[in-house]
Structure 1
Amino acid sequence: MAYTEVSFDEASALVNLANIAKLREITPLKGGWANSNYLVTLADETELVLKVWDERPPVEVENIIEQCCWLEKHGVPTPNPLILKNGERMVVKNGQAWMLMPFVSGGWLPSDPKSLYDLGKVQANLHKVPICDGISSTFSIGYVLWQRIIDDAKKNNTTTPFIELLQTEMVALKESIPDDLPRGIIHGDLYPDNVIGVEGEVRAILDFEEICIESLAMDLVTTFVGFGWEEGLPDSELWHSLLAGYESVRPLSDAERAALPDLHRYSVLAVAAWRYWQFVIKIPGTEHTNRYVEMVERLDKTLPF
């Protein structure tokens, strides 16, 4: 998806800052709800991704780049920005971070048992990476966003049934989810448009905008929210495939297993809150206005755990 329009000349100027061939073509890419992505093809047929960060300020992006380089160093398959001639991995243009990334071949990872088994293994290996300095301990689409939505609605007298639901659920989930579950580095948004692969094989994890220190089991069920539902219902086979792959590397504790339903509820509401914030409050009147409702409708479904 592209929120920021990038012209050929703008893309060419960025390409010229790297020690690579000249730009031949630029094409918008699908995927990505918080940034703008373009496929750039060079004169020597090399393909790269030009990424503009629409949601995060450059200082935060710089920190995320450092964290992703740390993850790549520890075996997580994530592409990192090219180093430009000035030694930096990004440039700032109009207050936004722009960068060139390696293009990873393959489509979005499909939702099938073999693919989810491999995704579970990759995610568990991510969760075993040692914590490095500078990673936030706040899940940006969790309680902090919910509270902002609630406070703004009270201030502006714009409370809706969904916002009332958020307030009620936040109180209940803070009470029911244990504070001492295993924590570590999480992706926070492992949805199909953030995972490149082919059937049975993850090739790359993308877009670590939500990277933070949080409950590892919450991150696992977030992946199930993204990959494990078919036609509005949870798919038990997909869950057990994801879990089997994950536990082949990192078994869940008894406390994590007991908390899975509440963690899943938290994750579903976090996605709903972000969609409400993005498409009802920030960018109203598009075809995405009611995307949050899909998540709300999942709250009363029977889960496979």
Structure 2
Amino acid sequence: MAKYTTADQIDLPALAQRYELGRVRLTPLVGGAANSRFRLSCASGKFVLTILDSHDWSSAQRLAAHTHAVFRLGVPTTEVVPAVGGALITQLGDRPVILKKWIPGEVRQPLPVPHLPEAGRILARLHALSLRSLGCGDIPVGARRLSSNHMAEIPRFADGDFAAWLTDWLDRVRAVEAENERPSRVVHGDLLVDNVIVREDGRLSVLDWETISLDDPLLDLGMAAVGLAQDGGVLAPRRLDALLAGFGDVAPLSDDDAAALPMEIVHAALIIAFHRYYRHNVRFPDPPGAPSTGRWSGSWTRWRRRLHCLADKRCDRARRSLICFMLRRPVWPGEPSSASTARASLRERGPSGAEACGLRLTATKSTRPLGVSVGG
């Protein structure tokens, strides 16, 4: 299992001295798949203390610098609090830590529809930032994509059916993307609902810049669709339209981009599917008898039955039509089509069709992987 930092392991007097905070009180925060998070309260205000359990010193410095840079450029996010002397990170024990100002608000699951256009606009404005304006020369390229090391792990998965299904779909995605390369932009990489705060003033703030990189903005938009445009696990046309409407206010989609977006939504789902499985079955497997094991077994058995429906070559035509219907496109991505017809389809499809077909996208930060699935 992952090794997290607990409150009793934190030297509060040393921490308070480094940030000149006085007497502090620490409260653990729920959430955070890779790091330990606490709310820190003192006379000067409230803060979020993150123990970067999954980072070394260099990667922690990059994370702090990137978070500071996007805040400085007006992206609504949390402000990094420097320690005495100006350092953006400090070290407690053998782990780097970062302190940020507390944002009063809450995570709403799902994010209410009236907020989705603003989420789209924030994402589009982020994509418009230049690398020079960020002042960071070390932003990685394609950090959210599966690396060659990730791909090498898939054939070793204990669940061969899942590995074969994942490989097949990734091959399809890459074949389509090879014919539709787009200029890279600054992207967030993980705009899921857990990373969006609805502030007390009703506006949004975006958290978690660990996957910021230079990449295809459509993949980033696809990731946001997976993370924000669902209703009960179903990719909901009304929610997707609201997200895309806000994005289009800042960066209208071209006909080609509108036609390519559905496959990038699928790509985003596959990336998360890999990481859910890898984290909870390979990197940090739950020990035998742990409470989460039973939940995994039951949900994965049901989910795998749905994968068989998608992977069955005899149902290829039906599978294509179902997925296209969910993504509200008239044809399969990569096949000859009229992009303008595809854009009209994005606007005109109703929400009941996907639900009637039982086609779902599962995207939760749980031990269950994510993917396109057919119910029943």
- For Structure 1 versus Structure 2, the TM-score category normalised by the shorter chain is 0.7 to 0.9
Relative to structure 1, the CA distance from residue 79 to residue 221 in structure 2 (aligned partners, 3 Å threshold; closer, same or farther) is same
Q: Are the aligned partners of 1:115 and 1:200 in contact in 2 as well (CA < 8 Å)?
A: no
Q: Are the aligned partners of 1:184 and 1:214 in contact in 2 as well (CA < 8 Å)?
A: yes
1:216 aligns to 2:212 (yes or no): no
Relative to structure 1, the CA distance from residue 40 to residue 148 in structure 2 (aligned partners, 3 Å threshold; closer, same or farther) is farther
- State the SS of the aligned residue for 1:240: helix
Q: Are the aligned partners of 1:186 and 1:214 in contact in 2 as well (CA < 8 Å)?
A: yes
1:51-200 → structure 2 map (5 Å cutoff)? 51-109=50-108, 110-132=110-132, 133-144=137-148, 146-150=150-154, 153=156, 158=158, 160-177=160-177, 178-198=179-199
- State the SS of the aligned residue for 1:248: helix
One-letter amino acid of the structure 2 residue matched with residue 55 of structure 1: S
Q: Are the aligned partners of 2:64 and 2:89 in contact in 1 as well (CA < 8 Å)?
A: no
User: Aligned equivalents of 2:282 and 2:4: distance in 1?
Assistant: 16
One-letter amino acid of the structure 1 residue matched with residue 229 of structure 2: G
Q: Which residue of 1 aligns with 2:230?
A: 229
How many residue pairs get aligned? The number is 299
Q: Structure 1 residue 19: deviation in Å? A: 2.4
TM-score relative to the length of structure 1:
0.88
Q: Structure 1 residue 88: deviation in Å? A: 0.8
Q: Which residue of 2 aligns with 1:6?
A: 7
Q: Structure 1 residue 251: deviation in Å? A: 0.9
User: Aligned equivalents of 1:92 and 1:106: distance in 2?
Assistant: 28
1:245 aligns to 2:246 (yes or no): yes
Q: Structure 1 residue 257: deviation in Å? A: 1.1
Relative to structure 1, the CA distance from residue 29 to residue 2 in structure 2 (aligned partners, 3 Å threshold; closer, same or farther) is farther
User: Aligned equivalents of 1:50 and 1:27: distance in 2?
Assistant: 10
Relative to structure 1, the CA distance from residue 219 to residue 9 in structure 2 (aligned partners, 3 Å threshold; closer, same or farther) is closer
User: Aligned equivalents of 1:32 and 1:80: distance in 2?
Assistant: 18
Q: Percent identity?
A: 24
User: Aligned equivalents of 1:280 and 1:259: distance in 2?
Assistant: 32
One-letter amino acid of the structure 1 residue matched with residue 115 of structure 2: S
Q: Choose 249-258 or 190-199, whichever is displaced more.
A: 190-199
Runs of 4+ in structure 1 over 3 Å off: 143-146, 198-203, 288-301
1:303 aligns to 2:327 (yes or no): yes
Relative to structure 1, the CA distance from residue 138 to residue 70 in structure 2 (aligned partners, 3 Å threshold; closer, same or farther) is same
- State the SS of the aligned residue for 2:11: helix
Q: Are the aligned partners of 2:190 and 2:224 in contact in 1 as well (CA < 8 Å)?
A: yes
User: Aligned equivalents of 2:300 and 2:212: distance in 1?
Assistant: 22
Relative to structure 1, the CA distance from residue 2 to residue 251 in structure 2 (aligned partners, 3 Å threshold; closer, same or farther) is farther
Q: Cα deviations across residues 199-219 of structure 1 (Å, max 9, x unaligned)? A: 994432111111111111111
User: Aligned equivalents of 1:293 and 1:219: distance in 2?
Assistant: 30
Unaligned stretches of 5+ residues in structure 1: none
Unaligned stretches of 5+ residues in structure 2: 311-321, 329-345, 347-376
User: Aligned equivalents of 2:201 and 2:113: distance in 1?
Assistant: 8
Q: Structure 1 residue 254: deviation in Å? A: 2.2
User: Aligned equivalents of 2:200 and 2:263: distance in 1?
Assistant: 30
Q: Choose 264-273 or 101-110, whichever is displaced more.
A: 101-110
Q: Cα deviations across residues 52-85 of structure 1 (Å, max 9, x unaligned)? A: 1222322112112222222122210121321111
- State the SS of the aligned residue for 1:241: helix
Pick the structure with more helix per residue: 2
Relative to structure 1, the CA distance from residue 169 to residue 143 in structure 2 (aligned partners, 3 Å threshold; closer, same or farther) is farther
Greater relative CO (CA pairs within 8 A, separation 6+): 1
One-letter amino acid of the structure 1 residue matched with residue 245 of structure 2: A
Please give the root-mean-square deviation of Cα atoms over the aligned residues, in Å. 2.8
User: Aligned equivalents of 1:145 and 1:8: distance in 2?
Assistant: 33
User: Aligned equivalents of 1:295 and 1:15: distance in 2?
Assistant: 47
Q: Choose 79-88 or 205-214, whichever is displaced more.
A: 79-88
Q: Structure 1 residue 169: deviation in Å? A: 2.0
User: Aligned equivalents of 1:62 and 1:148: distance in 2?
Assistant: 29
Q: Which residue of 2 aligns with 1:27?
A: 27
Q: Structure 1 residue 229: deviation in Å? A: 1.3
